[in-house]
C-alpha cells in the first residue's frame, strides 16, 4: 500500500466491467491490514489527515491511533470509489497529496 505501489493509470480491454463491490471489499481489506509504515506513508503524502497527531509523531503515537487511521484510509478509498458510478461522470475531487519522490 506504500506510495511506490500506487496505480497511476489503469487500462482495461474494451467491454470490460469492473466488479466495484469486490474492489470496495478489497480496499477495505487492504486498509484494515495497513502497517504502521503504510499509515505513515499515507499521512506523509496527504492521502489521510489526522490533526490530533503531532507533526513529528513517533511509532507509539501511530500505534495508539492505528485503528482510527485505518478507518480514515478506508473512508478515503471508499470516497474515491464513490466519486463516480457506472454510467455517470465522476465529480471533480481535490486530493491533498504530493506526488511521490522517484525511487533512487
pLDDT digits (tens, 9 = 90+) for 6-24: 555 667 788 888 888 888 8
Q: How many domains does the chain have?
A: 1
In the chain, which ranges are continuous DSSP H helix?
Answer: 20-32, 36-44, 59-81
**Residue 46 domain-assigned (yes or no):** yes
Mean pLDDT to the nearest integer, 55-69: 91
Here the cell at position 99 is 506526488
Nearest Cα neighbor of 69 from 80, 86, 57, 81 is 57
Where is pLDDT greater, at 16 or 86? Answer: 16
Q: Does residue 26 belong to any structural domain of this protein? A: yes
Would you say residue 83 has pLDDT above 90? no
Evaluate if residue 48 carries a pLDDT over 70: yes
Tell me, yes or no, whether 12 lies in a domain. no
- Supply the mean pLDDT for the chain: 76
Domain that holds residue 46: 21-81
What would the mean pLDDT of 76-100 be, rounded to a whole number? Answer: 54
Q: For residue 50, is it within any domain?
A: yes
Residue 31 burial (CB < 10 Å; 0-12/13-18/19+)? buried
Residue 63 CA to residue 61 CA, distance in Å, equals 6
Amino acid at each position: 500500500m506504500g506510495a511506490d505501489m500506487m496505480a497511476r493509470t489503469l487500462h482495461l480491454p474494451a467491454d470490460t466491467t469492473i466488479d466495484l463491490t469486490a474492489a470496495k471489499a478489497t480496499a477495505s481489506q487492504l486498509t484494515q491490514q495497513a502497517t504502521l509504515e503504510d499509515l505513515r506513508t499515507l499521512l506523509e503524502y496527504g492521502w489521510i489527515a489526522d490533526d490530533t497527531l503531532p507533526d513529528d509523531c513517533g511509532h507509539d503515537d501511530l500505534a495508539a491511533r492505528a485503528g482510527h487511521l485505518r478507518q480514515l484510509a478506508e473512508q478515503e478509498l471508499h470516497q474515491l470509489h464513490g466519486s463516480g458510478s457506472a454510467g455517470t461522470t465522476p465529480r471533480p475531487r481535490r486530493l491533498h497529496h504530493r506526488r511521490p519522490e522517484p525511487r533512487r
